[in-house]
Structure 1
Amino acid sequence: MPKKTIQRFLPDHNKIKQQKSLKIFGSLLHDANLWHLNRRSARGAFSVGLFFAFIPVPFQMVLAAALAIPFRVNLPLSIALVWITNPLTMPPIFYASYQVGAFALGQEEQPFHFEASWNWLVESLSTIGPAFIVGSLICACMAALLGFFVIDFLWRRSVNKAWAARNQQSS
């Protein structure tokens, strides 16, 4: 069940190999293990993808691919999960990350008003920046661990149900 559900949402691996931003990985993309979908590759891909979804840096997809290759986990799934943080979900996710960081550092939340300017960015790095970065790292690690264990549990449960159904039919 999880394998069929996940495969339905994954993009074609040939399209991913043709991405200009992934050309830097060259022949590393030809490793067959990066394209297989099994319990090990899915849980690792969830960890990698969810980790980079919560890290506020540009080129999250490239970073997810760079980590998926040496860990030999499913590359399309790692890249796709980064898009959990998209222009619609980024503000609430990153604000929650800031709140987690402020709590972890024992700071009170500081009121701020977003402005799309270089001055605002430089000023906010010293005021809300540390809490935001710490919170993002905490949320990234927690999401990666949660994704790993939830997918592992769901995959095992699905396999056990399939075996039970098979045993029941043969009886």
Structure 2
Amino acid sequence: MDHDHHEHRKRRWARIRRVKALLRYTPRRARFHRYPVIGRFADVARKRAYLWSFRKEHVRPALYAGAIAALLPIMGVQVPVAFALALLLRSNVMILVGLQFITNPFTAAPLYYGTYQLGHWIILQSGFGVSTEVVPGDAGVPLEQTGGLDLHGPDELAWTQTLGTTFNSLVLGGVIAGALLGLILDIIWRNGVAQAEAHRVKVAERKRHSDSTPPVPPAE
């Protein structure tokens, strides 16, 4: 029994160390003012307890919103956007900002390529977000049939529409992939909470039995 309890404590502390390592670069209440840009709002952040809460209603929105924001094509402004989302959704700012480090100079290219491919495939399958096909200028297509865009020529129009479709693909792919990532993180988090609660109940039950008075043998 003691050996099992010792092993469980070792695994628990190992999980805690991993979580602390993941949260090492996230904004904490004591050093929030050191963060660039959002540090100006340190007084506002410290007065809002939900930004630092690990209760269910503050963690779960942070997981989904943080994962989606991390995969959107907004690299460079992710942290201010994450802070604004934390205030808007009344969610944990440490988790929301911490998830933004998923996208960094080393991972941005493969992640954005993947979200673009996902979004582009969905656009092709659904037709939602696809740009209008541009016909060469000598085909005599009236301006109103190109959407009424008064540009210098069909080449510029085609370039603009291609860029628009690319951006739509990145956004759509980022939202869907981010929501799926948020779901995975949510399942992992809820499983961890359930295990922690089960262990707490088990420890309390064991302590209750150990503190109970042993039965008195009947008198002869």
Structure 1 length as normaliser, TM-score? 0.72
Q: Judge conservation of contact 2:60–2:186 (CA < 8 Å) in 1.
A: yes
Q: Which has the higher contact order (CA 8 A, sep 6+)?
A: 1
Q: Distance in 2 between matches of 1:81 and 1:67?
A: 13
Select the residue among 6, 9, 19 that pairs with 2:22.
Answer: 9
Task: Establish whether residue 29 from structure 1 lines up as the match of residue 45 from structure 2.
Answer: yes
2:152 aligned partner: none
Is the 1:17–1:29 Cα contact (8 Å) retained in structure 2? no
Q: Please name the residue that 1:69 is paired with.
A: 87
Q: What CA deviation, in whole Å up to 9, does each residue of 1:89-142 have, x standing for no partner?
A: 1111111222223222327xxxxxxxxxxxxxx999626423332222223322
Separation (CA, whole Å) in 1 of partners of 2:105 and 2:159: 21
2:33 is the counterpart of 1:20 = no
Q: Which runs of no fewer than 5 residues in structure 1 stay unpaired?
A: 108-121
> 1:139–1:64: structure 2 CA closer, same or farther, 3 Å change rule?
same
Scaled by the length of structure 2, what TM-score is found? Answer: 0.58
CA contact (8 A) 1:52 1:60 kept: yes
RMSD: 3.0
Structure 1 position 47 matched with structure 2 position 64: yes
Distance 1:167 1:26 in 2: 38
> CA–CA distance in 1 between the matches of 2:43 and 2:172?
34
Sequence identity percentage: 24
Q: 1:26 to 1:165 in 2, by over 3 A?
A: closer
Q: CA deviation at 1:21?
A: 0.3
Which of the two has higher C-alpha Rg?
Answer: 2
How many residue pairs end up in the alignment?
156
**Is there any run of 5+ residues in structure 2 with no aligned partner, and where?**
1-11, 125-129, 131-155, 207-220
SS at match of 1:95: helix
**Following TM superposition, by how much is the alpha carbon of 1:86 offset from its aligned partner in structure 2, in angstroms?**
0.7
The DSSP-based 3-state class of the residue aligned with 1:142 is helix
Structure 2 CA distance for aligned equivalents of residues 35 and 124 of structure 1: 48
Residues 26-84 of structure 1: per-residue CA shift (max 9 Å, x gap): 64312111012233322221222212212212311101111111211111211111121
